[in-house]
Amino acid sequence: MNRIIFIIISFLFIHSFAFADIVTDEYMDELLKDVEISAPIQNLNYNYEAVEKIPIRLNITETISTKKDEIYDFQPLKFVVKENVKYKNRVLINKGAIINANVAIYNTKGMNGIPGCIIIDNFNINGIDKNKLKGIYIKKGLNLSLMVYPIKWALTPIPGVGSLTNFILGGNAKITPKDTVIIYYYPEWGEKLH
Amino acid sequence: MKKIVESLFIFVLFIFGIMMPSEAVDTAQNQIINDMYIQNKVSDIGLKLLNANKIDVRMIFVYESKNSKINLEPGLTKRQIIAYEKSLQFAANDDEIAAFLAREICKTAESYSGVWKGMVASVQVKCAPKKFEIFFDKRAVDFMVNAGFNPLGLITYINKSYPQKRYDKFARTNLTSKRLANIYEYIYTKYPIYLKNNEYIQNEAYQNFLLTSAANRKKLYDKVKSGSKKAVDYE
């Protein structure tokens, strides 16, 4: 009898240890094994007293759109500076300079006229602190919800008809080389006083 | 005997008449102090997220204890983010509070964009939450990183607080496992340092995520190995 109790206790003891094991992330460990990784830029020491801002006008080099399979998160993009960017009579960025950026996130178009959306960030400009850029550009497609919702609500009394408007899709978001992308540089944004 | 009964009666009166109100006052005071503490914490984290991400539209953060009536989507109508006790009880640290607030900030910021002072955008978010859910999750990751929080807190927070439905084909929301997999992929793509130096590996909620997401993580692994850029169909 004692032996049986001993076996049961031993089993429970070993079993509890088995459950206490940490699950490791082997897939990720392998993917990141030999990859060099830098720390992300954070914006913790801000001081937004200054208001002076300088627009930086850009053109994308290749068209991007939220059409399926044409875009992905963190997709690298190239922009050309449209005109000289000056501050205090000094040229900060020359016309024609190439600037790298990334697709931050995108959202495809949806039912009920919801438009696609592209957000671009991570603009890398030589000699300019990223934290002094209000550097997010958002482009949306054609928003048809303004038309869809009133039609839907007007047709709701007729059973099933109002729901047909669900199938009206919004427009894709698209940025072409002809579009001017504007981001703002705040040269006087400084460090937080502690 | 009569004296004993009288003494007992006076004692009972003393207990209920003097002690109880003072205890009640103490409890009420403690409740107020506790509420003030949580309110300050929520406001500090919320404002830090707004400032670090240069979000130049107004919104406020309100902590509501469990007795308050639940108000649906005040973020979209009044630009007031309400952190209910029911939501915050899942948050075990600042990262997880930031995770909850960052998602709400994304939603509220959307209510400022577009025609009629964002009214149409608000209706879209309200009527089609599924379309925006993963979009807001990913944006929340960016907001958290910029403000110095660990984005894995979003995974642990969602893993603890959102249930898992059977299907999402005709549902108003995505499967939670699908959301988690998308967040995980986004962190891997954009901020892999948090996965390489994983501070959450010992966290029970994160361990549970690893345990339940093996199939989805394998899909991501296959995608990366094959060099594909197509969106993965997570389960």
Cβ distance B120 to A114 less than 8 Å, yes or no, reads no
CA distance A149 to chain B (A): 9
Residue A173 is predicted with a pLDDT of: 94
Residue B209 is predicted with a pLDDT of: 95
CA distance B98 to chain A (A): 15
Q: How far apart are CA B231 and CA B211, in angstroms?
A: 23
Is the confidence at residue A184, as pLDDT, over 90? Answer: yes
Question: Residue B84: which of B46, B30, B39 has the closest Cα?
Answer: B39
Q: Could you state, in order of their start, the residue ranges of all structural domains in chain B?
A: 30-226
CA distance A4 to chain B (A): 33
Kindly report, residue by residue over B93-138, the tens digit of the pLDDT: 999 999 999 999 998 988 888 778 777 788 888 888 888 999 999 9
Question: Residue B150: which of B204, B96, B207 has the closest Cα?
Answer: B96
CA distance A71 to chain B (A): 8
Q: How far apart are CA A54 and CA A86, in angstroms?
A: 8
Query: Burial, A167: exposed, middle or buried (Cβ in 10 Å; 0-12, 13-18, 19+)?
Result: exposed
- Which residues of chain B are within 8 Å of residue A112 when distances are taken between CB atoms? 124, 127-128
Q: Are A135 and A26 in contact (CB under 8 A)?
A: no
- Which residues of chain A are within 8 Å of residue B53 when distances are taken between CB atoms? 43
Question: Residue A55: which of A194, A156, A186 has the closest Cα?
Answer: A186
- Which residues of chain A are within 8 Å of residue B47 when distances are taken between CB atoms? none
Q: Which residues contact B84 (CB under 8 A, 6 or more apart)?
A: B64, B66, B68, B70
Residue B49 is predicted with a pLDDT of: 96
Cβ distance B145 to A72 less than 8 Å, yes or no, reads no
Residue B10 is predicted with a pLDDT of: 64
Residue B73 is predicted with a pLDDT of: 64
Q: Are A74 and A31 in contact (CB under 8 A)?
A: no
Among partner residues B51, B127, B189, which is closest to A46 by beta-carbon distance? B51
- Which residues of chain B are within 8 Å of residue A73 when distances are taken between CB atoms? 138, 185-186, 189-190
Residue B4 is predicted with a pLDDT of: 74
Q: What average pLDDT values come out for chain B (235 residues) when binned by 10 residues?
A: 69 58 76 89 95 92 75 69 88 95 91 80 82 92 96 96 86 91 95 94 94 94 91 89
Q: Is A24 helix (H, G, I), strand (E, B) or coil?
A: coil
Q: How far apart are CA A93 and CA A83, in angstroms?
A: 8
Among partner residues A22, A32, A140, which is closest to B201 by beta-carbon distance? A22
Q: Are A111 and A99 in contact (CB under 8 A)?
A: no
Kindly report, residue by residue over A29-73, the tens digit of the pLDDT: 888 888 888 899 898 888 898 889 999 999 999 999 998 778 998
Distance of CA B124 to the CA centre of its chain: 21
**Helix, strand and coil percent figures for chain B, each rounded to 5:** 65, 5, 30
Q: Which of B105, B131, B180, B203 to mutate to test the interface with A (most CBs of A within 10 A)?
A: B131
Among partner residues B124, B185, B186, which is closest to A145 by beta-carbon distance? B124
- Which residues of chain B are within 8 Å of residue A110 when distances are taken between CB atoms? 128, 131
- Chain A residues whose C-beta sits inside 8 Å of any chain B C-beta: 22-25, 27-28, 30-32, 35, 37-40, 42-44, 46, 48, 69, 72-75, 104-105, 107, 110-112, 114, 117, 119, 121, 134, 138, 140, 143, 145-146, 149
Q: Are A106 and A120 in contact (CB under 8 A)?
A: no
Q: Which two tokens stand for residue A40?
A: 């992300």
| Confidence category of residue A194, pLDDT binned at 50, 70, 90 | very low
β-pairing, A85-87 vs A76-81, is unpaired
- Which residues of chain A are within 8 Å of residue B148 when distances are taken between CB atoms? 42, 44
CA distance A172 to chain B (A): 14
Residue B7 is predicted with a pLDDT of: 72
Q: Which two tokens stand for residue A176?
A: 């072409």
Judge if pTM exceeds 0.90. Answer: no
Cβ distance B115 to A143 less than 8 Å, yes or no, reads yes
Q: Which two tokens stand for residue B72?
A: 């649906």
Q: Where does chain B have alpha helices with state H? A: 2-14, 20-52, 74-77, 85-88, 94-110, 115-127, 129-146, 152-161, 176-190, 193-196, 204-212, 214-226
The more confidently predicted of residues A160 and B158 is: B158
- Which residues of chain B are within 8 Å of residue A35 when distances are taken between CB atoms? 192, 196
Give the H or E element holding residue A101: strand A98-107
Chains A and B: how many Cβ contacts under 8 Å?
107
